Amino acid sequence: MGAGRPRRSLYQPSFLERHRKALVTGGALVILALVGAFFFFNVTAAAYACTTITQREPAGTPLPNGSPALLGQAQPDMGNLHVAIGNPVRYAYCPPASGSHYNNSGVDGPIPAKYYGPDDGTKPEGWIHNLEHGAVVILYNCKMGACTDANATALQALVRTFPDSPVCGEKAGVIAPVIARFDDMPAPFAALVWDRLVYLDTVDTARILEFYKTEAERTNPEPQCAQPSPTLAPSSPAAPSGSAAPSGSAAPSGSAAPSSSAAGSVAPSSAPSIEPSSAPSPTASPSPS
């Protein structure tokens, strides 16, 4: 090798060494994209799913216990389990008038009683807990044209004038009413109590209040007060001793007859007990259902 000629190095940098900076930058961008996609899909994922949309039925269908109802229709009970906050729930029937829900009072469920706008992101997992405590939930369907300024004004006015609860006297604004958007139903509006709902085509305030008065706090699994006793029907005047009892269910000897002086209180009967007879007593007719 001649003197003065430069010596050629035999070392060649590897691909990773030549492109280290670009690879690091690209890897960081991929990680950021994956993290962003994760949060995007979590935010935009459906908070709930529906198996069946409850269709309209004729008014006056009976309650689950068989007693008559003035308004609305029954919906099969879906239980009242608490689920982890953030976990979506599939409901067998929508809009759900029962079912699994969150348990974080005042935040996730029960949620504060008020009017919620179309973009407030309310979830059935929250307001179902209000139903469990006896509330009424009023839903509006933006896909069926319910999201207008006039309807929003009417619903907000309903919140301001809402009455206390019909059975327990819960103050309005504590647990009811909740007014929220819900698009998975076949009507512009619906009012729900536990296991029961009524569909509406307009903001029919009178019908909503009548539904609340007659149906709320009767079927919810967590009542907020002692439920009232069934009203006792007044009995017929006692027959003289030895005569046949009047038509209807015969009261047992010594039983108390209801007093007319105070609702729900029972005063001892002043009539003497009917003496047993050797003849068979008349068959009592069945009590009305």
Following CA atoms 68, 73, 79, 84 in sequence, which dihedral angle do they give, to the nearest 10 degrees? -140
> In the predicted model, is pLDDT for residue 263 greater than 70?
no
Range of lowest pLDDT (55-59, 147-151, 179-183, 216-220) = 55-59
- The one-character DSSP state at 64 is T
Could you tell me the two tokens for 162?
């809402």
Residue 181, phi then psi, degrees to nearest 5: -80, 140
* Confidence (pLDDT) at 31: 77
Q: In what order do the strands lie in the sheet with 196-200?
A: 73-74, 196-200, 189-193, 137-140, 178-181
* Confidence (pLDDT) at 135: 98
CA distance 176 to 158: 11
Three-class SS state of 206? helix
* Confidence (pLDDT) at 52: 97
* Confidence (pLDDT) at 283: 40
* Cα distances (Å, whole numbers) of residue 144 to 141, 181, 187, 286: 6, 11, 7, 49
**Rounded average pLDDT over 225-235:** 62
* Confidence (pLDDT) at 28: 74
- Smallest Cα–Cα separation from 232: which of 267, 204, 205? 267
Cα 156-157-159 angle, rounded to 5 deg? 65
- Would you give the distance in Å from CA 248 to the centre of its chain? 40
* Confidence (pLDDT) at 10: 64
pLDDT tens-digit readout, 174-213: 999 999 999 999 999 999 999 999 999 999 999 999 999 9
- Torsion sign over Cα 132, 133, 134, 139: negative
Q: Most confidently modeled of 62-76, 154-168, 272-286?
A: 154-168
- Judge contact between 99 and 79, C-beta under 8 A: yes
CA distance 31 to 20: 17
- The DSSP bridge partners found for residue 129 are none
In the chain, domain spans? 48-215
pTM recorded for the entire structure:
0.65
Residue 162, phi then psi, degrees to nearest 5: -70, 140
* Confidence (pLDDT) at 197: 97
- Judge contact between 64 and 97, C-beta under 8 A: no
**Rounded average pLDDT over 91-115:** 97
HSE-CB for 51 with a 13 A CA cutoff: 7
> In the predicted model, is pLDDT for residue 248 greater than 50?
no
CA distance 80 to 90: 13
Share of the chain above pLDDT 90, in %: 56
pLDDT tens-digit readout, 105-145: 999 999 999 999 999 999 999 999 999 999 999 999 999 99
Helix (H), strand (E) at residue 199: strand 196-200
Which pLDDT band, with edges at 50, 70 and 90, does 19 fall under?
A: confident
